Chains A and B, each alone.
Chain A
Amino acid sequence: MKHFSKGLIAGAAAIVLNFAAPTVNAATPEDQLVIGTSLAQVLSLDPQQATEAKAIEIMSNLYDRLVKTEDRKIAPQLAESWEIDDKGITFHLRDATFASGNPVTADDVVYSLGRLTKLDQASAANFKRIGYKADNVDKLVKAVDPKTVRIELSGETTAELLLYRLAMNVASIVDSVEVKKHVENNDYGNAWLRTNSAGSGPFTLKRWTPNEMVIIEANDKYVGGAPHMRRVIVRHVPESQVARLMLERNDIDIASALSAADLKTFEGQQGFEVQRVPTGGFYVLSMNAGNPYLANPKVRKAIAYSIDYKGIEQTIMGPYGRVRNVPVPEDYEYAIPNPDWHFDAAKAKALLAEAGYPDGFSLTLKTIAQTPRIDLATAIQGSLGQVGIKVDIQQGNGSDIIADHRARNFDLLIPQTGAYMPNVLGAMEQFSSNPDNSKEANNAGNFVWRSAWDIPELTVLTAKASLEPDAKKRGALYVEMQEKFVEQKPAVLPLFERFEPIVVNSRVKDYVGHPSLLTRLEGVTKASD
């Protein structure tokens, strides 16, 4: 019998070794970048449709836009220069070509912006909000000559704020000649462009297999010269621990969906760098002002004093966020200092008593079951419990929790946001504008409406700021908006400024996470082992 078991073990080992022999575990090749992340929510790679974060990161490398943001300032991309006057902006295009070989012309710009508003997906919202719609876009955006485009102001925005929107991924310029070849049933080529690329960016889309991987390849016709990486592979690795092993084994170069615990193992570890990419957005505690308790500003103030921001920052948020209770990142121009909200149980209890609830009450807290939101919810439950507010946590996946948020079906809920422009308005607009708070308005796309928080004054102020052409006056309005926000004891309470932590293998050079997810990879190089 002993012989038998020995034989068995030896046999098993031989089999395994045999299988293992041909796999020489080499690191990723020098001219290929491999990113491990979760692709679960990538539903489309059409720039005028997709708004999901991972999709934007990929598309920002397939397409160029007229302008880009660099260090939060507008910089040229496809437009070499532009002139601003009272009525609009005239752009002069550089000599670039699409990956197909077609030149980038004014017609492509007209077509792309028209496509955005006429496809009319969620991605068009940021342009519709400032008056660029399907029925007026042909009048507002015109080709002057093949290399000149004129965009008229809609009357609902300033030129500067329009420029920031033109730097967004949704305003990517597509190859109109190529896309028009693939139009079916007036879909503006959407069915085709979801899984193909037609851009002038440094890479082209080679393959997208949902839930498996996206492969993009160097575009040798790119105006800036072919990028160093021959191809970039974005792999779907939904399990954080698995991503960690792959990173340690050199099978992936960058991991961007790690849990807090796995991130911690890379802090200070040689050969790896942990980057905190700012998003301009926040982790927020949304309170439903339709709930009688939460309608009371005193109660909201009590809650603001019932959260141990500093403690949570140290123990839970770590690389994910830093304390901030104003919805504008603290290093933005015109950002005001934080209000003095800190954990103070006595003060919170006094405020609750003043509001008429000395014995507290019960609330539910809904959150997506995801790092770090789930730990954040537990911490809030604990500290609110100390002041007499009993909290029941309900967790769910993205589609349930977002649906409840949209339907105003919650007491407390933890959403997260991102800034769409790197300035006060881009960060704050979602928090400070709610044109019609009635239930009938059914404005579920509005972040504040979902909390039933009625803020007419702030809404007016926000609209005023978006139309103020004078930078100095606009700055003053920005400050006023933030002060008013704090004063009203927000029902959409920003808790932490949000960062996306990623781990990068030290072999990778010049990978710089972009605050609007528009990380470009053309400058990335890799050192040999």
Chain B
Amino acid sequence: MKELTASELARRILHLIVSLFILLCVTFVIGRVLPSDPVGAIVGELADPAAYEAMRTRLGLDLPLYQQFFIYLQGLFRGDFGQAILTGNSVASDMLQAFPATFELATLAVIISAVVGVPLGLAAALFRDSFVDKFARVVALVGHSTPVFWFGIVGLVIFYAALDWVGGPGRIDVFYEGMVEPVTGMLLVDSLLAGETEIFWNALSHIILPAAILAYMAMAYITRMTRSFTLEQLSQDYVIAARAKGAGPARTVAHHVLPNIAVQLITVLAISYGNLLEGAVVTEIVFSWPGIGQYMTNALMIGDMNAVLAATIIVGFVFMLLNFIADIAYAVLDPRTREVAR
């Protein structure tokens, strides 16, 4: 890790842009080469050839690939992602609608996973090979190896259908639909802004299960990483010295371990956040969650490549941005990384 100079920062931003461009190219080519037929999907199974051709021309699909790509790029620079076949709206406005739903879900999930995962990892390391450690390892293993789809259905059967503890699929009960005007697009925030606490609770009861299930997936990773970071610190001389002087586990963690692993944890949380945005795809389908994952899946089904491209680019961009921020944070917050480079 080099020192964070202006030129280094510029290099990284350039790197980010190049990665994004490569992602764009690959997705575009795959999208156009796939044997799907968006025109057929729009005009219907039994449309006559004239209507079919007219639509093909309207979508610009009769042009050579490089021209299509060029036109797409031009639009992109104007912030225009093209028109979505799926909804007829501009893809950009669809994204503004779908992204907050996913963002809200992933954010709550990352909070839950950090709040539960970090202490669990710390405890597992502090009480190595004890019951807590074994428990944490089992939790992490199960979370890591079970499909989120299965968890989603089982979670619904238990907590929604059998126990009636949480709200069902969707973001809110139907009779509250349309009662809160979207401001941020995040229902929890919007309902509070509108002073509708009843709706807030209802929305919370709907989001808690999918968020918890998503969080569990991330938690498995966070717990494992926290445990190994902590173990590494615990074997350091300064910790051994502190413990020898009589510092209890709580003090050791709070004063010695946590500050030293904080930067590494930020990286882990950033990566988890990115993964959660991706992982939201399956969760959204199980929970009828109208976010970017569901939007992208439906768009793929009908070959709506403008929508798929935009969703890929946005998720890819957020993912890269998170990594970028984590990297910068690393360089800024951890003086050691700079010294090592010297």
Contacts and interface: CB of A to CB of B under 8 A. Distances in A.
B142 interface: no
Interface centre among A5, A206, A236 (most CB of B within 10 A): A236
A229 to B, nearest CB: 13
Contact of A242 (B38, B47, B287): B287
A30 to B, nearest CB: 11
Contacts of B159: 16
A415 B285 CA distance: 26
Interface residues of A, number: 67
Contacts of B169: 237, 239, 242, 246
Contacts of B34: 400
B175 A445 contact: no
Contact of B295 (A41, A195, A211): A211
B175 A29 contact: yes
A121 B40 CA distance: 12
Given A19-B165, A445-B47, A40 B298 contact: yes
A463 interface: no
Nearest to B49: A442
B88 A403 contact: no
A23 B156 contact: no
A122 B46 contact: yes
Nearest to B303: A399
Contacts of A122: 43-44, 46-48, 51-52
Contact of A400 (B36, B44, B163, B287): B36
Main secondary structure of the interface of B (DSSP, over half): helix
Interface string A388-408: 000000000111101110100
A87 interface: no
Interface stretch (B62-70, B196-204, B233-241, B314-322): B196-204
Interface stretch (A123-131, A140-148, A356-364, A518-526): A123-131
Contacts of B301: 40, 397-399
B288 interface: yes
Contacts of A32: 174-175
Interface in A165-213: 191, 194-195, 206-207, 209-213
A400 B168 contact: no
Contacts of A34: 174
Contacts, number: 190
A120 interface: yes
Given A5-B131, A23-B201, A398-B41, A233 B177 contact: yes
A248 interface: yes
A265 interface: no
B160 A245 contact: yes
B130 interface: yes
A399 B302 contact: yes
A241 interface: yes
Interface in A11-54: 16-17, 19-20, 22-23, 25, 28-29, 32, 34, 40-41, 43-44, 51-52
Contacts of A20: 163-166, 205
Interface string B22-63: 000000000000111110111111111111101000000000
A16 B163 CA distance: 11
A231 to B, nearest CB: 9
A290 interface: no
Given A206-B178, A213-B177, A400-B35, A23 B40 contact: no
B187 to A, nearest CB: 12
Interface string B201-245: 110110010000000000000000000000000000000000000
A236 B288 contact: yes
Given A19-B165, A211-B295, A41 B36 contact: no
Nearest to B36: A399
Nearest to B156: A245
B294 interface: yes
Contact of A249 (B43, B85, B161): B161
Nearest to B50: A120
Contacts of A402: 37, 40-41, 45
Contacts of B294: 211, 238
A443 interface: yes
A207 B94 CA distance: 15
A480 interface: no
A215 B43 contact: no
A319 to B, nearest CB: 23
Given A23-B167, A211-B290, A400-B34, 14 more contacts: A5-B135, A16-B165, A122-B43, A125-B46, A210-B89, A212-B290, A233-B174, A236-B288, A237-B169, A239-B169, A397-B302, A399-B36, A400-B36, A403-B35
8 A-B pairs with least C-beta separation? A403-B37, A122-B47, A22-B201, A20-B165, A212-B290, A122-B44, A399-B303, A399-B36
Interface of B: 34-38, 40-52, 54, 85-89, 94, 97, 123, 127, 130-132, 135, 153, 156-157, 159-161, 163-170, 173-175, 177-178, 198, 201-202, 204-205, 208, 285-288, 290, 294-295, 298, 300-303
